Amino acid sequence: MSGVEPFAATTVEAAVETHCPYCALQCGMTLSLGEKGAWSVGARDFPTNKGGLCRKGWTAAALLDAPDRLTSPLIRDRKGAPLRAAHWDEALDRIANGIRAIQSSHGRDAMAVFGGGGLTNETAYALGKFARVTLGTANIDYNGRFCMASAAVAGLRAFGIDRGLPFPLEDIPGAQAVLIVGGNPAETMPPIMQYFDAQRANGGRLIVADPRRTPTAEAADLHLQLAPGTDAALALGMLNIAVRDSLVDTDFIAARTNGFEEVRRIAASYWPDRVERITGVPAAQIYKAAHILGEAATTIILSARGPEQQSHGVDNTLAFINLALALGKAGRQGSGWGCLTGQGNGQGGREHGQKADQLPGYRKLADPVDRVAVAGVWGVEPDSLPMPGLSASELLAELGVAGTIHGLLVMASNPVVSAPDTDRLRERLASLDLLVVADIFLSDTAELADVVLPITQWAEECGTTTNLEGRVILRQKAKEAPPGVWTDAEILVALAERLGAADRYGRVSAPRATFDELRRASAGGTADYAGISYDRIAAEDGVFWPCPSEAHPGTARLFLDQFAFPDGRARFHPVRHGEPAETPCADYPFYLTTGRVLAQYQSGTQTGRIADLAAADPEAFVEVHPETARTLGIAHDEMVEVTTRRGTAELRARYSRKIRLDTLFVPFHWGGRGNANILTSNTALDPVSRIPEFKISAARLTKPSRSVSLERTA
Ligand code: SF4
C-alpha cells in the first residue's frame, strides 16, 4: 500500500515549489495558477514524499480561495455584543490598551500567549521574543505541548537531544525490523507508508502496537493489540524476554550507555504471562515481537501519540527507548529510536522559543548561560527575561476571573477544539478581560474573542519549517495575501510600537531577516541553525540541524559516534508500568481514546472547509465494536452520547470490528457538541512533559437522553 492518491493535472501558467500546510511530513508540492484563475496543487519529487501526497495535500489549494476567509479585523464592543469589522488601527489600539490595563492591574504575567505547531520557525521565534521582550510575560506556551511533549522529554533524557527522528526517512527501507508504537501513519501521513512498503518488500518485518486495528496495523506482519495505557508494560515484557533469551547487546550497553542494571532488574519482574494479563497481548506475540526486534541486524522503533499522550507519557516513551538501547539498536547506522512528529512544524515550534521553558536554538530559559547568549542577540539585559512560565494545560487552567491570567493572545491555534476539557475552557475564555485571536478563519476560538486579527496563510508568505526528520525546509510564497490581511510578524511589530517596546523588540518583520536573526540566536545551541540559509535550503532540498556553519553539511544522522551528553553515553531510565488516571469502572465502563482520521487535520479549521474532505469525513463519530454496541441496543449510524467525568459529547455510532470490545475511539477534529475534548481531562497530566492524557478516559456509551433527542428534532 502506498497511501498515495492520484492527482488530476490542470493547465498552469506558473508553478511555485513549496510544501504542504499540514502535517510534519511537510510533503513537497507545487502550487500553480491555472488559466481560469484557480490554484492547484501539483506533484513534486521532494526527498521525503517522492511525489506522493495524501488527499489533504492534494486539496490544500482550495484554502487559498475560501469564501469565508477573514480579511478585516473584528472587534466586540462589549462582552455579549456581536463581532464587527474594524480598521487595523482601532483593533491594534484596543489590544494595546487592553494589555496595558491588564498588566498594570495584575502584573506582567497576567497577559499570556498561546502559539501553534503550525507556525513557521520565523513566527514561532518572533512570538517567543515578543512574549519575553515586549510583554515581559513568563506565560507563553503552544499546542505542541498536546502533541510531542513526552517524546521530546524522553529523547532529551535518554540521548541528550530531542529531534523527532535522529535519522532520515531513507533509513527505514533498510531496517530488517520496525516497531511502530501507537501511531497510524497510513491515515495521518499516508505518503510515508512508501518507506514501510519498501522495508517489507526488502524482506523486513513490521510490527505495530495499537489498541485499534488501524490501516497501519493491517499493513504489519504482527499487530500487538494492547489495552490502552499499558505501553510501558509491553516494552518491559519485551525487554524481559530479550534479557532471558540473550538478545541484548552487552557490548553496546557497556560501551555506549549508563544505567542498564537497574532497568534490567525492573524488567525481570515483567515476565510474559504477567504482561499478557496487564496488556491483553498474548505472551506468544510478545515473545515473537521481542525476537523479531532483537534478532534483526537493523531495527527501528518509532513512537507516536499512543504512548505519549498519557499521564505516564514520558515513562512509556522511555520504556521503548530502554528496549532500543538494550538491543543495541540506537545510535547506529540503520537502527534507531525516533518519534513520528504530528504537527506541521511541531519540531521547529519547540526549538525556537514559543515553549514555556525555552529560548531559541533549544536553549533553556532557566539556564544562566543560555539567557546571556540570547539576550546578547536581542540587545536586552539577561535579567530582564522572565523565567519559565506555565505549560499549555496549566496556562489554560489559569485563564479568567478565577485564575491569574486575564488576557490571552492566540496565534494560529484553536484550543476550544484541540485542548482538553473544552466546556470548562470555553467558560474561562469567555471571562477573560481580553482575548485576541489571530487566524485565517473565524475558528471556534476566534468566535469567542474580543478582537480577531486576519493573518496570512501558508502560501502567502515564505518561511521555514522543520519536518519530522529535523530537516529544515522552505515554504515559498506563491501568491499575495488578500487586501486587509497582515502577517503575524507585522502584527507583533505594530503591537510592540504601541506598547513602547519597539526599540527592544525591533522592527523586523520580513521572514528572511527574521530567520537570519534566529540563526544568530540559535548559534551554539542544541538546535543550531547558524549555517542554514534560505539559499542553502532551496539548493539542497532542506538542511538537517545541527548545522553550525555554512561550511557544515548538516547532520542527517545523530548519535552515530556519541550521544549528546558530556560522556557521550546514552542513559537508561528505570521506569515501570503505571495505571492511567482513570480506568473503566461501573459508571464509566469503557476506555475512551482519541485520535485522527485520514481526511481531517487537527481542529478542522482548514480541512473542514474543503468540500472533498468534508464529504469524506463530515461529522464527529464514535467507533465502537458491534458486539459492544448491540449489548447496549445501539445501532450503526445512530446518534449516541459518550459521557466522561467532564461532560457529554453527541456523536454518531460507527461500528468497527477493528477496535477492542472495551474501547471507544473518537476523533478530535470537530467542534460543537461532537468535540472529543469535551470528554478529556485537563488535570491528568504527565508530571514532566505536562501532556494531557488524551488517550485514556473512562467513559460510558448510551442512547441519547430524551432532551437531546428533542433538541435535535426541534
Ligand atoms: Fe503530506 Fe501530511 Fe500534507 Fe498529507 S497532510 S500531503 S502527508 S504533509
Residue 156 Cα to ligand 1 middle (Å): 27
- CA nearest neighbour of 143 among 427, 415, 465, 467: 415
Q: Is the peptide bond prior to 704 cis by the omega test (within 30 degrees of 0)? A: no
pLDDT of residue 530: 98
Question: How remote is the CA of residue 573 from the centroid of ligand 1, in Å?
Answer: 34
CB distance 44 to ligand 1 below 6 Å: no
Please give the distance, rounded to the nearest whole angstrom, from the Cα atom of residue 489 to the centre of ligand 1. 26
Residue from 23, 475, 601, 613 whose mutation best tests the ligand 1 pocket (most atoms within 8 A of CB): 23
Nearest residue (by CA) to ligand 1, atom 7, is: 189
> What spacing in Å lies between the alpha carbon of 380 and ligand 1's midpoint?
40
C-beta of 603 in contact with ligand 1 (< 6 A): no
Is the distance from the beta carbon of residue 189 to the nearest atom of ligand 1 less than 6 Å?
A: yes
Distance CA 644, CA 631 (A): 20
pLDDT at residue number 670? 84
Would you say residue 249 has pLDDT above 60? yes
* pLDDT (0 to 100) of residue 706: 53
Query: Does 191 sit in the ligand 1 pocket, CB within 6 Å?
Result: yes
Tell me the pairing of strands 471-475 and 463-466.
antiparallel
Report the chain's mean pLDDT, rounded to a whole number: 93
pLDDT digits (tens, 9 = 90+) for 269-296: 999 999 999 999 999 999 999 999 999 9
CB-count exposure of residue 26 (10 Å: 0-12, 13-18, 19+): buried
| Atom of ligand 1 lying closest to residue 26 CA | 8
Report how far residue 274's alpha carbon sits from residue 181's, in angstroms, rounded to the nearest whole number.
20
**Each residue of 424-440: pLDDT tens digit?**
999 999 999 999 999 99
pLDDT tens-digit series, residues 349-397: 888 989 999 999 999 999 999 999 999 999 999 999 999 999 998 999 9
Q: DSSP label at 635?
A: P
User: Percent of the chain beyond pLDDT 90?
Assistant: 85
Q: Does ligand 1 lie within 6 Å of residue 48's CB atom?
A: no
Candidate from 189, 341, 617 with most ligand 1 atoms within 8 A of CB, to mutate: 189
pLDDT band of 213, cuts 50, 70, 90:
very high
**Entry field: residues in the chain:** 714
Average pLDDT of span 580-604:
89
Q: Is the CB of 165 under 6 A from ligand 1?
A: no
Is 175 touching ligand 1 by the criterion CB < 6 Å?
no
Q: Is a pLDDT exceeding 50 seen at residue 5?
A: no
In ligand 1, which atom is closest to the CA atom of 25? Answer: 8
pLDDT at 3 exceeding the cut of 50: no
Mean pLDDT throughout 177-200?
A: 96
Of 687 and 148, the one with more pLDDT: 687
pLDDT in tens, 540-550: 999 999 999 99
Burial of 483 (0-12, 13-18, 19+ CB in 10 A): exposed
Please determine, for residue 676, whether its predicted confidence score (pLDDT) is greater than 50: yes
Q: E-assigned strands of 295-349? A: 299-303, 336-339
Q: Is the pLDDT confidence value at 2 over 60?
A: no
CA 702/CA 171 separation, integer angstroms: 47
Q: Is 56 in the pocket of ligand 1 (CB under 6 A)?
A: yes
Query: Could you identify the atom of ligand 1 that is nearest to the CA of residue 54?
Result: 4
Ligand 1 binding pocket includes 248 (Cβ within 6 Å): no
The answer, yes or no, to whether any atom of ligand 1 lies below 6 A from the CB of 659, is: no
Residue 29 CA: nearest ligand 1 atom is: 6
- For the segment 164-175, what is each residue's pLDDT rounded down to a tens digit? 999 999 999 999
Which residue's CA is the nearest one to ligand 1's atom 1? 27
pLDDT at 708 over 90: no
Look up the pTM and report it.
Answer: 0.93
When pLDDT is cut at 50, 70 and 90, the band that residue 445 belongs to is very high
Q: Which helix (H) or strand (E) holds 627?
A: helix 626-631
What's the confidence (pLDDT) of residue 268?
Answer: 98
- Nearest-CA neighbor of 644 among 594, 578, 610, 688? 594
CB 375 within 8 A of CB 384: yes
Mutate to test the pocket of ligand 1, among 4, 7, 19, 54 (most ligand atoms within 8 A of CB): 54
CA of 453 to the centre of ligand 1 (A): 27
pLDDT one-digit tens code per residue, 114-146:
999 889 999 999 999 999 999 999 999 998 888
Nearest CA to ligand 1 atom 2: 23
